[in-house]
Amino acid sequence: MTPFKRLNSTTVVLTERNIDTDQIVPARFLTTTNRRGLGQAAFADWRFDKHGQVREDCPLNARQAETSEVLVAGENFGCGSSREHAVWALLQFGFRVVISSRIADIFRANALRNGLLAIEVDADTHAWLLDNPGAGVTVDVVQARLRLPDGRDIEFELDPFARTCLIEGVDALGYLLGQEQAIAGFEQGAREAA
Amino acid sequence: MSQTLFDKLWNAHIVRPETPDAPALIYVDLHLIHEVTSPQAFTELAERGLKVRRPDRTVATMDHSTPTWPADLQGQRRYASEQAWEQVRTLLDNCDEHGITVHDWDSPNRGIVHVMGPELGLSRPGMTIVCGDSHTSTHGAFGALAFGIGTSEVGHVLATQCLLQRKPGKMRVTVDGRLGAGVSAKDLVLHVIGRIGVDAGTGHVIEFAGSAIRALDMEGRMTVCNMAIEAGARAGLIAPDQTTVDWLRGRAHCPQGEDFEQAASQWLQLKTDPGAHFDREFRFDAEEVAPTITYGTHPGMVVGVDQAVPASIDAAGRRAMDYMQVTPGQSLLGRKVDVVFVGSCTNARLGDLRAAAEIMRGRQVADGVRMLVVPGSEQVRKAAEAEGLDQVFLAAGAQWREPGCSMCIAMNGDQVGPGQTAVSTSNRNFEGRQGPGSRTFLASPATAAACAVKGCITDPRHIDGPPEVRIHFPAPRQMEARQ
Ligand code: SF4
């Protein structure tokens, strides 16, 4: 993973609530055995119609979306299936940050494990972001702050462990492997009976 | 201090407690894997030169991309694509390499991961169970802490048998009273999700309690916990009781004989202490639950099958109803159905098939309706065939398939056509879930079967009644007028 400390980007906005991971990556793209080639699958049925034609009205197809690294979405983003392909697809599409007023648990965990920053903001900030597609924002991972063009500077919650992983560009597996002694100790305890 | 069942399960599995800087390290007793969410995790292990730490605590099945057609005379299976076959083969290779038990085509126990695990007695009270699959919440029906994880975490568990987790919040849904005739666990859980919303459980583990939950058999409890994720919850839980113990006795992976009785007496201790605190609480009355069906594009948009869908809706609701071609304020009864699917880890156990068969017996699938009945596992298939349920479905004109996820996720070639209307016993009615452009109405097995017979959305309580004609009165307007 590339270290992620800070970025400036315009936003792409999807106002829909409850965007589930079946929308982010339809199941027909899941018969893969690697993590590659999923950028095309991102929101495939929103970006293309049933004949494969580009849907001009989809914000993800706007020219600005090509350089945008921040996706703002309606409440409860990433609900449904646990497929991590949803996170891989968004990253490969070019996003590094997802902002919503609520983000589903498994999606959020998957995102942070892959260097995609999933941020929950308060209802007012969320409403403003939804109303202002294309706004230029600054995301500061080190300070856990989001800056809006009107000068608002909002602190967001970020688990300190996830933050370290993002800033240093490391994943959690290394840390887990370092816990071998504790794990072995636990296994030798009464639990082995279970 | 009084503890909830969830607290007890959590505490018993802490390898390292949570600190401000790091999440807790939680031990995983059972790791279930399948072909779709595991290949990249094995690749990660290979790239780092790691082994599977506890192959003995890992069990694999193949269910998502596997065909449900029987093998042909040469023993060949009709995979939907080269890639689907490749995915299954990758799972078999990985299991072989790491010494993991896999329930493949030759296994008499292969099935949908959340049907197979409990059936084999792999899922037992007091355990932690994870799988790269959100409906892992199903296993919570046994009083186990069971939740879905992503592929990176599948890798973590393969390599270390542990997960890094912050402790979720605690929520309780209590349902008292008795379910009416023809009303099932599926109706109950759809009703609850409709009331609390699809994100009410986000960041929480839901314990289901109350006399109506106690009265459910294990299959019904699994249906309820299975759908906990559709309320956004990390996991669903039901405290073990005598029903749990009786269901588990004699299962292949359970302790046997005296050991079982000893284990059972411990399982029966697993419950929430009186006065324990929950962060959120909801209460429902089972008598209020009708046969319930979804009308929109998430599992919280539900209505009693004989009721009108809401008349006043927001923009999101309107978009969903447009997609579903549902008219605000109107009843769904009589809506033409193209496909009926009885299957999935929510409703493809023996009791579900019996409920559907009871309606189908002596009746025919209506003209123009394609009905698929897909048992949840080989064991379910064999038990159903031993009772002649397959013959009931076949005689009615339905298709009787081999176990798998099938049309629930539509990865294996079984799918609903663009624009078609499906009534399904599965768990998700998202746009395109059952195939691009498909429209899914979620319901119980009885309702699904009734819809198949009538060829339209039907109340299973009135299947032999007169054709259901409804008169729609305009919604009362006096409230607006007064303002
Ligand atoms: S039946 Fe459906 S929900 Fe259940 S595991 Fe299979 S795809 Fe997932």
Contact A26/A41 with Cβ under 8 angstroms?
A: yes
Q: Which residues of B touch A182 (CB under 8 A)?
A: 15-16, 25
For residues B192-218, give the mean pLDDT: 98
Q: What is each CA distance from A78 to A152, A173, B205, B275, in whole angstroms? A: 26, 23, 18, 35
Q: What is the pLDDT of residue B24?
A: 98
CA nearest ligand 1 atom 4, residue: B345
Interface of A with B in 165-194 (CB under 8 A): 171-173, 175-177, 179-180, 182-183, 186-187, 191, 194
Strand B30-33 versus strand B58-61 pairing type: parallel
Domain holding A36, by residue range, is 6-169
C-alpha angle with apex B343: B90 to B158, nearest 5 degrees?
30
Distance CA A57, CA A68 (A): 17
Residue A136 lies in a domain: yes
Among A95-109, B306-320, B359-373, the least confident range: B306-320
Question: What 3 state SS string does B250-304 have?
Answer: CCCCCCCHHHHHHHHHHHCCCCCCCCCCCCEEEEEEHHHCCCEEECCCCCCCEEE
* H or E segment and range at residue B372: strand B370-373
- The count of other CB atoms within 10 Å of the CB of residue B463 is 17
Residue A148 lies in a domain: yes
Going by C-alpha positions, the residue among B326, B234, B297 that lies closest to residue A106 is B234
Reduced to 3 states (helix: H, G, I; strand: E, B; else coil), residue A137 is strand
Percent of chain B with pLDDT over 90: 94
Residue of A nearest to B134 (CA): A82
Residue A36 lies in a domain: yes
Q: What is the pLDDT of residue B466?
A: 54
Residue A109 lies in a domain: yes
Q: Which residues of B touch A177 (CB under 8 A)?
A: 50, 159-160
Q: Tell me: the pLDDT tens digits for A25-65?
A: 999 999 999 999 999 999 999 999 989 999 999 999 999 89
Partners of B27 in beta bridges: B162
State the smallest CA–CA distance between residue B6 and chain A in angstroms: 17
Going by C-alpha positions, the residue among B374, B372, B370 that lies closest to residue B345 is B374
Reduced to 3 states (helix: H, G, I; strand: E, B; else coil), residue B415 is coil
Residue A1 lies in a domain: no
Q: Tell me: the pLDDT tens digits for B56-107?
A: 999 999 999 999 999 999 989 999 999 999 999 999 999 999 999 999 999 9
Alpha helices, DSSP H, located in B249-302 = 257-267
Conformational region of residue B480, where left means phi above 0, alpha means psi within -120 to 50, and beta covers everything else: alpha
Residue A135 lies in a domain: yes
CA nearest ligand 1 atom 6, residue: B405
Reduced to 3 states (helix: H, G, I; strand: E, B; else coil), residue A112 is helix
Q: Hey, is the C-beta of A140 within 8 angstroms of any chain B C-beta? A: no
Q: Could you tell me the CATH number of the domain that includes residue A21? A: 3.20.19.10
Across the interface, which of A22, A30, A114 has its CB nearest the CB of B152? A114
Residue A132 lies in a domain: yes
Q: Tell me: the pLDDT tens digits for A180-191?
A: 999 999 999 855
Q: Hey, is the C-beta of A123 within 8 angstroms of any chain B C-beta? A: no
Distance CA A20, CA B301 (A): 14
Q: Is the CB of B190 under 6 A from ligand 1?
A: no
Backbone φ and ψ for A112, nearest 5 degrees, come out as -65, -30
Across the interface, which of A16, A31, A171 has its CB nearest the CB of B84? A31
Distance CA B424, CA B422 (A): 6
B25–A183 C-beta distance less than 8 A: yes
Tokens of B115: 């049907």
* H or E segment and range at residue B383: helix B378-386
State the smallest CA–CA distance between residue A81 and chain B in angstroms: 6
Q: What is the pLDDT of residue B478?
A: 38
Interface test with A, best of B51, B81, B415, B430 (most A CBs within 10 A): B430
Q: Is the CB of B409 under 6 A from ligand 1?
A: yes
Q: Is the CB of B135 under 6 A from ligand 1?
A: yes
Q: Structurally, how many domains does chain A consist of?
A: 1
Backbone φ and ψ for A146, nearest 5 degrees, come out as -120, 125
Ligand 1, atom nearest to B426 Cα: 2
Query: Over 80: is that where the pLDDT of B434 sits?
Result: yes
Going by C-alpha positions, the residue among B34, B303, B239 that lies closest to residue B154 is B34
Across the interface, which of A83, A102, A179 has its CB nearest the CB of B37? A83
State the smallest CA–CA distance between residue B135 and chain A in angstroms: 8
Across the interface, which of A27, A79, A182 has its CB nearest the CB of B232? A79
Q: A-B interface: how many C-beta pairs under 8 angstroms? A: 177
Residue A194 lies in a domain: no
DSSP for residue B435:
S
Distance CA B267, CA B127 (A): 10
Percent of chain A with pLDDT over 70: 97
Q: Is the CB of B411 under 6 A from ligand 1?
A: no
